Amino acid sequence: MNELSYKSRLKPTRTALLFWCLFIGIGAVVGSLCMFIKPDGSLLQMQNMLPYFKKLPLADILYQNYIFPGVALLIINGLTNLTAAVLLFRKKPLGIRLGMCFGVTLMLWICIQFYMFPFNFLSTAYFIFGMIQFFTGYAALVFEKQETFHFDPAEYPNVGTNPRLLVVYFSKMGYTKKLAYEAANKTGATIYEIRATEHTSGTTGFWWCGRYGMHRWPMPIEPIHVALQGYDHVTICTPVWVFSLASPMREFCRQARGKIRQADYILCHHMKCRFQNVAKEMDVLLDIQHTDMKSVCCRKGRYL
């Protein structure tokens, strides 16, 4: 678990996914039961809709009444979603993955309805529900990866054994921090963390950081209490924010101008992109030419 403490985003997202799985699952079971009780569809007031099923293959065999659609509904949207709901309730990781997939299944199911029926409110609403279910599942998956992200400084015993080298990093979620410790452990460099004085943690922190990122603003940081001039080489590790340099690192580079003799950069981001522009901006701010640059795509807590 990441040692940075922040409010769990996984729990509410998993609960929301549980809601969607139960809502779709129970609805499908009730719907299919109604079809079994009254195969002519009268319980659901769907008697007049049977002719629309003629558009589907094997209509003469499968769609003379609502028994087959009921079985299909029960299996494809009912039992599946209820299984995911049980797994989510028991906090099994598979529940999130299945819940997300069944959002897609629902959308595909509704696509068949779009093909069969004329435009109607119910089908459109359920397509949107499927989409929300999918995105809720995806968000839960990302938050799960983030919150089970492993970092233990004890695994980097070589850090701080070479007083001539420095690794500087800013990290909101811990991914850049891990890269910084790996780099420092390789060379024995001393490590220094830049801390923002603005609100950066949790979901509200994300939006606040996004605001700074979008405007390309520097973000205020705590006073730098390391003598940068005293090091032969500095490795700067930074996340990418809104396709650009993370705002606290922008402020650090401004303050460090003229104090760093030689530097290389490690960039951490989600997209499979090198972000050469970020390195260029740091060169300009620090008034140096970097010696090396590593660009690391770290998606959902995994480094690609």
# chain residues binding ligand FMN, by CB under 6 A:
21
Smallest gap, in angstroms, from Cβ of residue 201 to ligand FMN?
Answer: 10
Smallest gap, in angstroms, from Cβ of residue 10 to ligand FMN?
Answer: 16
Out of 39, 174, 188, 202, the residue judged to bind ligand FMN by CB under 6 A? 174
Rounded Cα–Cα distance for residues 62 and 77 (Å):
18
Of 94 and 271, CB closest to ligand FMN:
271
* Closest CA relative to residue 239, chosen from 170, 285, 287: 170
Cβ-contact 259, 289 below 8 angstroms: no
Rounded Cα–Cα distance for residues 228 and 270 (Å):
29
Region 234-273 residues binding ligand FMN, contact defined as CB under 6 A? 239-243, 268-271
Per-residue mark of binding to ligand FMN, 85-124 (x: CB under 6 A): ----------------------------------------
Stretch that binds ligand FMN, among 153-161, 189-197, 233-241, 285-293 (CB under 6 A): 233-241
> Rounded to a whole number, what is the distance in angstroms from the first to the last CA of the chain?
20
Smallest gap, in angstroms, from Cβ of residue 6 to ligand FMN?
Answer: 11
The alpha helices in the chain, defined as continuous H runs, are 10-37, 59-62, 67-73, 80-89, 93-116, 121-147, 175-187, 202-215, 247-256, 276-286
Contacts of 26 (CB under 8 A, 6+ apart): 82
Of 80 and 171, CB closest to ligand FMN:
171
Smallest gap, in angstroms, from Cβ of residue 189 to ligand FMN?
Answer: 18
Region 284-303 residues binding ligand FMN, contact defined as CB under 6 A? 298
Strand partners, 267: 238, 295
Cα separations in angstroms, 85 against 54, 123, 257:
34, 23, 55
**Binding residues vs ligand FMN (CB under 6 A):** 171-177, 206, 209-210, 213, 239-243, 268-271, 298
